[in-house]
Chains A and B, each alone.
Chain A
Amino acid sequence: MENNGQMLVYSSSPHKKAPRTTRFIMINVCVALIPACIAGIIFFGYLAAIILALSLISAVISEFVYLLICGMNFKKICAQFDFTSCVTGLLVGLTIGVNYPLYAPVLGSMFAIIVVKMFFGGTGKNLVNPAIAGRIFIFISFQSVVTEWILPSGNPVTGATELTGMLESGNLSSLSLLDMFLGRNLAGCIGETCKLALIIGAVYLCAMRIIDIRFPLIYIAVTGLFTVALNGFNFAYFLPSILLGGLIIGAFFMATDYVTTPNTKAGNYIYFFLLGILTAGLRQATGMETVSFAILLMNLLIPLIDKIIINKPFGFTKTKKKSVKDN
């Protein structure tokens, strides 16, 4: 027969698969971060662009170099490159300030990719979010060198930021809510000040069905409400506690990372709820911005959550459970 020479692929069902791949998802996360990058460059100038480029490139190069050292050939690395390191690199760049020395983003990305991701087995095997770990690495390493945050105008603010100031002194910030939302006159990291840009990206991710909007919203709402509760139920704290600091970028882009979220819906509700409590509690207790620390700590709890909470099979009944125990 005429098609006899044709090679037929022989593999297990299902034979049709959705077109979506890991690479597609990660490219879309990068796309969703573009508004934040642009806003950062507009507010903080060309230095922001340089930092972003450095962190992005060093993240990608770290991955390639690591795999090359591991003995994988270049073509294969390119073929399986899934853009997760781009996401990590961008997030590392977005979460540091422009006053950091230029080798900070390079070191941060390298740490995030090599130590946190590749040492554990690459994409999907890391225990904690590499970008978060990278950010904390930079934050701690440069604590003594960099003690101030930069305003968009270029002037440094020493010591307390708007958020920590508010939490420590108990005085509400003098900034208007609109300023907080747009990031005007707000000191902070490159990517976390302009909430508008971040929310545009988040809406894009939801529209592409990459993240489930419920969970970051739970996180944000719980953080806000718990801050309110800790401050004597003064609802004036609600919006500032959400809009100041890194909560928005953390909630939409870092806490929702697939690898470091529980694997069940129920587990996710618990995870994001606890995350909110922890963030607000730590902020109040330490007077520091603690979104990344909270996410890091909760990441370590995920294996436990996933162990305890697993889906119950369709048609699951109590009696079945008993019989399993009896065995």
Chain B
Amino acid sequence: MSIRKGKNYPYGIHIPDMKYLCASSPIEVMPAPNKLFISLSQHIGAPAIPVVAPGDEVKKGQIIGKESGAISANIYSSVSGKVLSIEEIVNGVGQKQKYIVIENDFKNEEVLFPDMKDFEAQSIIDRIRLAGIVGLGGAGFPTAVKLSPKSPLEILVINGAECEPYLNCDNRLMLERTDDIFKGINYVAKALNVKRIIIGIEKNKPEALEAFSKYEGFEVVALKKQYPVGSEKHLIYCTTGRKVPVGKMPFDVGCCVQNIKTMIACYEAIELNKPLTEIVMTVSGLGINSPKNLKVAIGTPFEDIIKYCGGLKENTVKLVCGGPMMGKALANTVKFASKTDSGLIALSGEECSVAQPSNCINCARCANNCPMRLMPMYIESCALAGDFVGAEKYGAMNCIECGSCAYNCPAKRALVESIRFAKAKIKEAKQNGK
């Protein structure tokens, strides 16, 4: 099918995308390390419950953590080996999580799911749930829940925008595994029972656009290169023209947004009978010696990944897990690859600003660029003054934390940090009120 142009959305920002660092390097498979730390909460919702004990022998693809509750996900071992311990670790982004530590025996024995009996909608959803698939774009919301909407949907939107600078893994996957993605999308569309499938890809990935245009049955939309076009609400607007109302979810306008990587995971679970044990991530930034697109086993320590990519350069000042706009900074390298990690970016001093904030000069750049049309400077001043009612009035709860406001602020104010703080306080107040 031919490539269609996306609807124009006037608010957003333009960031140097820095994708050149590894846009053309094919995905490399990183061998699993000696020791893996697999977190039991790699998703939104309740942590999984460990079903192995220290000393147990596990195989690759064997379940080690079982979902607990409706919104949760199974966790599988990504290597064969022995469970050393189950311990709580505070990782580099400051989360305290339970980890299952597994020692790799390098035998690579693997267990698979049985073949699917049929490919009906419910069996597909069950398999996706079983395989522990969650939204791999970063949110980590269990995909099976997303595929069982309360009301019927009309459109499946696939997010191939990858608007975060530096990140390349979706782009590489779209080029290298186009067929698998296509199959995955079709299964998911079947599970959702939707007729219309749209895939939105930013214009700066012409090869990916080209690759998808040869398939029949879905619309390929070329999106303007603008951050954050890959945010759910904006992607829906740019591809379908529908606006998700304030405080509503994509399914309220009959859409379901899925990530490229999630589609591949679905394909692997359904056709190859594999659970989710590997992720593809971009290791990039001017602070890393050899930027790469890597396929790593879930649970691989970031330290090993950094070593595999040639180590950090002297000038690294910041390590970011995820993309540089929405990812989390790491205080140290104690972090282990999880389902939702899409990047490890080592920023050098010249790339990231560590300037001190000064007074807001009311330039309104933040408000003019906010893709959600909020008033970030007011939310911030309300939040700093402790007026969380005011912060809510200026739209704090609608903030998608995209960082467009803080990116452009000449006074270098920590807008997103304050807004996040305000959001937490507003939520707290609501809970106490109920």
Residue of A nearest to B16 (CB): A16
Q: Which of B316, B367, B394, B403 contacts A3 (CB 8 A)?
A: B316
CA distance A171 to B345 in the complex (A): 70
B residues in contact with A12, CB < 8 Å: 329, 414, 416-417, 420
Cα separation A125 to B359 with both chains bound (whole Å): 8
Complex contact B414–A11 (CB within 8 A)? yes
- Closest residue to A14 on the B side, CB-wise? B403
CA distance A143 to B363 in the complex (A): 34
Residue of A3, A17, A124, A315 touching B245 (CB-CB under 8 A): A315
Report chain B residues within 8 Å CB of A4: 333
How many chain A residues touch the partner (CB < 8 A)? 49
Given A13-B403, A16-B351, A313-B372, check contact A259 B361 (CB 8 Å).
yes
Chain B residue at minimal CB-CB distance from A11: B329
Q: Is A148 an interface residue (CB 8 A)?
A: no
Query: Are A1 and B410 in contact, with the CB atoms below 8 A?
Result: no
Measured between beta carbons, the chain B residues less than 8 angstroms from A2 are: 311-312
Q: Number of contacts between A and B (CB, 8 Å)? A: 181
Q: Does B371 sit within 8 A of A, measured CB to CB?
A: yes
A3: chain B residues within 8 A (beta carbon): 306, 311-312, 316, 333
B332: interface (CB < 8 Å):
yes
CA distance A239 to B322 in the complex (A): 57
In contact, A13 and B375 (Cβ under 8 angstroms) = no
What mask results when residues 391 to 407 of chain B are scored 1 for a CB within 8 Å of chain A, else 0? 00011001001010011
A22, A80, A263: the one contacting B410 at CB < 8 Å is A22
Asked, given contacts A16-B352, A314-B371, whether A1 binds B307 with beta carbons under 8 Å apart, the answer is: yes
Say yes or no: A121 contacts B359, CB within 8 Å.
yes
**Complex-state Cα separation, A25 to B410, whole angstroms:** 8
| Contact yes or no, B359 A16, CB < 8 A | no
Which residue from chain A places its CB closest to the CB of B374 in the assembled complex? Answer: A313
Contact status B358-A312, CB under 8 Å: no
Cβ of B15 under 8 Å from chain A: yes
Q: A175 on the interface (CB 8 Å rule)?
A: no
Beta-carbon contact of A16 and B347 below 8 Å: yes
The 0/1 profile, CB within 8 Å of A marked 1, for residues 215-253 of chain B is 000000000000000000110010000011111100000
Contact, CB under 8 Å: A315 / B244:
yes
Does A15 sit within 8 A of B, measured CB to CB? yes
Q: Given that A8-B319, A12-B417, A24-B410 are contacting pairs, would A17 and B359 also be in contact in the complex, using a CB cutoff of 8 Å? A: no
Among A1-37, those with CB < 8 Å from B are 1-4, 6-22, 24-25
Contact with A along B342-358 (1 / 0, CB 8 A): 00010100011111101
**Cα distance, A315 to B397, chains bound together (Å):** 13
Q: Does B408 contact A (CB under 8 A)?
A: yes
On chain B, the number of residues with a Cβ less than 8 Å from chain A's Cβ atoms is 74
Proximity string of chain B (192-235) to chain A, C-beta cutoff 8 Å, 1 when within and 0 when not: 00000000000000000000000000000000000000000110
Q: How far is the CA of A11 from the CA of B328 in the complex (A)?
A: 8
- The interface residues of chain A lying within 8 Å CB-to-CB of B237 are 314
- CA of A276 to CA of B356, assembled, Å: 38
A258 pairs with B363, CB closer than 8 A: yes
Q: Contacts of B394 on A, CB cut-off 8 Å?
A: 310
Give Cα A261–Cα B367 distance, bound, in whole angstroms. 13
Minimal beta-carbon separation of B79 from chain A (angstroms): 21
A9 to B414, CA, bound (A): 14
Q: A12-B414, A315-B245 are in contact. Are A310 and B359 (CB under 8 A)?
A: no
Q: Which residues of chain A are within 8 angstroms of B395 by Cβ–Cβ distance?
A: 311, 313
A140 to B374, CA, bound (A): 41
Task: Give the chain B neighbours of A125 by CB distance below 8 A.
Answer: 359
CB contact under 8 A between A320 and B324, given known A13-B329, A311-B375: no
Tell me what chain B mostly uses at the interface: helix, strand, loop, or mixed.
loop
User: Could you tell me the distance between the alpha carbons of A113 and B398 in the complex, rounded to whole angstroms?
Assistant: 38
- The residues in A between 161 and 207 inclusive whose CB is less than 8 angstroms from any CB of B are none
Give CA–CA (A17, B11) in the complex, Å: 17
- Taken together as a complex, chains A and B put the C-alpha atoms of A86 and B73 apart, in Å, by 59
| Cβ contacts A109-135/B at 8 Å (1 or 0 each) | 000000000000111110000000000
Interface of A is mostly: loop
Any A CB within 8 A of the CB of B362: yes
Which residues of A sit under 8 angstroms from B407, Cβ to Cβ? 14, 16-18
The reply to whether B355 and A21 contact each other, CB–CB distance below 8 Å, is: yes
On chain A, the residues within 8 Å of B27 by CB distance are none
Looking at B330, B332, B363, B409, the one whose CB has the most chain A CB atoms below 10 A away is B363
- Once the chains bind, are A17 and B353 in contact (CB under 8 Å)? yes
CB distance from A4 to the nearest CB of B (A): 8
Report Cα–Cα, A295/B11, bound state, in Å.
29
Contacts of B183 in A (CB 8 A): none
Q: A15-B347, A263-B367, A317-B246 are in contact. Are A1 and B318 (CB under 8 A)?
A: no
Complex alpha-carbon distance, A315 and B236, angstroms: 11
Asked whether A315 and B243 contact (CB < 8 A) given A10-B331, A17-B406, the answer is: yes
State in angstroms the CA–CA spacing of A25 and B364 once bound together.
Answer: 14
Docked Cα-Cα span, A73 to B288, in Å, equals 38
Q: Which listed residue (B246, B325, B362, B375) contacts A15, Cβ 8 A?
A: B325
Chain B residue at minimal CB-CB distance from A258 = B363
**CB neighbours of A17 from chain B (8 A):** 352-353, 355, 406-409, 412
- Closest CB of chain B to A74's CB: distance in Å? 17
User: How far apart are the CA atoms of A2 and B306 in the complex, in Å?
Assistant: 11
Tell me if B303 counts as interface (CB < 8 A to partner A): yes
Q: Does B360 contact A (CB under 8 A)?
A: yes
Q: For B373, what are the chain A residues with a Cβ–Cβ distance below 8 Å?
A: 311-314, 316
Asked, given contacts A25-B410, A314-B373, whether A9 binds B318 with beta carbons under 8 Å apart, the answer is yes
- Which A residues are in CB contact (< 8 Å) with B410? 18, 20-22, 24-25
CA distance A261 to B364 in the complex (A): 9
A310–B377 Cα distance when bound, in Å, is 12
In whole angstroms, how far apart are the Cα atoms of A124 and B358 in the complex? 9
Contact A13–B325 (Cβ < 8 Å): yes
What are 29 A-B contacts defined by CB distance under 8 Å?
A: A1-B306, A2-B311, A2-B312, A6-B316, A8-B317, A8-B329, A8-B332, A10-B329, A11-B354, A12-B416, A13-B325, A13-B403, A14-B406, A14-B407, A15-B352, A16-B15, A17-B355, A21-B355, A22-B361, A80-B358, A124-B360, A264-B375, A311-B395, A312-B373, A313-B372, A313-B395, A314-B233, A314-B246, A320-B246
A residues bordering B, Cβ < 8 Å? Answer: 1-4, 6-22, 24-25, 80, 82, 84, 121-125, 258-265, 310-317, 319-320
Known A13-B403, A25-B410, A311-B374; 12 more pairs at CB < 8 Å: A1-B311, A1-B333, A3-B316, A9-B352, A10-B329, A16-B324, A80-B358, A260-B362, A263-B377, A310-B394, A313-B395, A314-B398
Q: Which residues of B contact A (CB under 8 A)?
A: 11, 15, 165, 233-234, 237, 243-248, 303, 306-307, 311-312, 314, 316-320, 324-333, 345, 347, 351-356, 358-364, 367-368, 370-375, 377-378, 394-395, 398, 401, 403, 406-412, 414, 416-417, 420
